[in-house]
Amino acid sequence: MKIIAGIFCLLVIVGVVSWFNGYIRQEDIVSFLGVSATPTPGATPTPDPVMAQIAHMSTEEKIGQLLMVGVDGESSTPDLQNFLGKNHIRAVLLFKKNIRTSEQLRAFTADLGRLVDTPSDFIIAIDEEGGQVVRIPWEHETVGQPAIIEPTQAYKVAKKRGEELRMLGINMNLSPVIEYAGMPDAFIVKNKRAFAVSDDILHAQLARAMIEGYIDAGILSVPKHFPLGLGQSTTDPHKDLPIISLGRDDMEKETAGIVPFLSEAGSVMVAHLVYPAIASDPASLSSVIIGDILRRDNHFDGVVISDDINMNSLGSYSLENILRKGLAAGVDMFIIAGPQQKEIDAIATLKKLVEEGVLTQERLDQSVARILFLKQRLAKHS
């Protein structure tokens, strides 16, 4: 008791003296208690599993993480398994051409999942927005976004749809569409893919609720398309490059309601459209829009996914320029929905960029880390 009382007195003395000096220093207290403020010598911190995984990956394995590819057929044939396995590709995007029956689809996705030790390491994605964009003909939850008018409904629709997708072996949905419906003849609005509400706050609440619904169903949600310009253009990016007349201030106001919760999704798709007053390159290749506005100014450190680079909106860019500019801008994963030869060319181009020092190991590891951290979310539901 005398020892405890002595220590207490010393602490009181230090406190009083420090009060006169204007602050209490940690080193004063630890000095009196006879302990060290530094970790015990030889103590080993718990390693981060993602960084440990990256440390054991080859360059080829890392490159494979950067691509989401389209595939032919309705089953995992030996040729497809060889292509995906040899190139370490760990993300596939399914379309209607890949889907016939629920039994066939479950078998297909199960075979794809067996290409890796842990199924959550393999992303099987789909565009299942509801309404006009439905890849699975027998899906029960097909409500389109224009018909979704309040957050509870949005959450329930996404959760039910997500649960259906998960039962089929699909673990990522490229949804919801986050463009505003302010321009009636805009491409994304005319095709009935956007929320029809006029209130910006409600619009953001609906998008957030759908993201939360998908997440609670155990699948990944990819909001699209940053920076929301497809709601401002009549041009179909599959056919041509949309040109958006907004300046930077107006564009940032447009995205202000959506950006704060993109991190909840952990990923976002960036569109192929150009803002001439902001950058000369399309948003998906722009270091100003992705690197400065999305990442630096809005602190988004999730996975940035490009829209399909096969679209005619990028027709004036070579494959190498798309990959080079996209990586420099901050893209982590490129969608290439076939043909297989273009996917092979993309892998070869990425290897070339690494060999030339354009794509450094540090930059490569940065994207791979983001992708692996995103996949950790799936592991929690597996």
Convert the pLDDT of each residue in 208-234 to its tens digit. 999 999 999 999 999 999 999 999 999
Both tokens assigned to 369:
């880390």
Predicted model pTM: 0.87
Give me the pLDDT at residue 345, please. Answer: 98
Q: Residue 324 and residue 72: Cα distance in Å, rounded?
A: 27
Both tokens assigned to 243:
């040109």
Structural domain includes residue 177: yes
Is residue 24 domain-shared with residue 132, that is, in the same domain?
no
Give me the pLDDT at residue 47, please. Answer: 62
* pLDDT tens profile 252-261: 999 999 998 8
Residue type, 157: V
Is residue 120 domain-shared with residue 251, that is, in the same domain?
yes
Q: Which helix (DSSP H) or strand (DSSP E) does residue 189 occupy?
A: helix 187-190
CATH code of the domain in which 210 resides: 3.20.20.300
Q: Residue 9 and residue 140: Cα distance in Å, rounded?
A: 72
Q: Please compute the mean of the pLDDT values over residues 321-341 and round it to a whole number.
A: 97
Give me the pLDDT at residue 46, please. Answer: 54
Measured at the CA of 188, the angle between CA 244 and CA 250, to 5 degrees, comes to 35
* pLDDT tens profile 126-159: 999 999 999 999 988 999 999 999 999 999 999 9
Q: Residue 353 and residue 355: Cα distance in Å, rounded?
A: 5
Structural domain includes residue 38: no
Is residue 73 domain-shared with residue 170, that is, in the same domain?
yes
Q: Residue 316 and residue 203: Cα distance in Å, rounded?
A: 34
206 and 151 in contact (C-beta within 8 Å)?
A: yes
Give me the pLDDT at residue 11, please. Answer: 46
Is residue 26 domain-shared with residue 149, that is, in the same domain?
no
Is residue 231 domain-shared with residue 338, that is, in the same domain?
yes
334 by DSSP, 3-state: which? Answer: strand
The domain of 57 spans 49-379
Structural domain includes residue 42: no
Is residue 234 domain-shared with residue 369, that is, in the same domain?
yes
Count of domains in the chain? 2
Give me the pLDDT at residue 15, please. Answer: 46
Structural domain includes residue 170: yes
Strand order of the β-sheet with 224-226 is 224-226, 267-270, 303-306
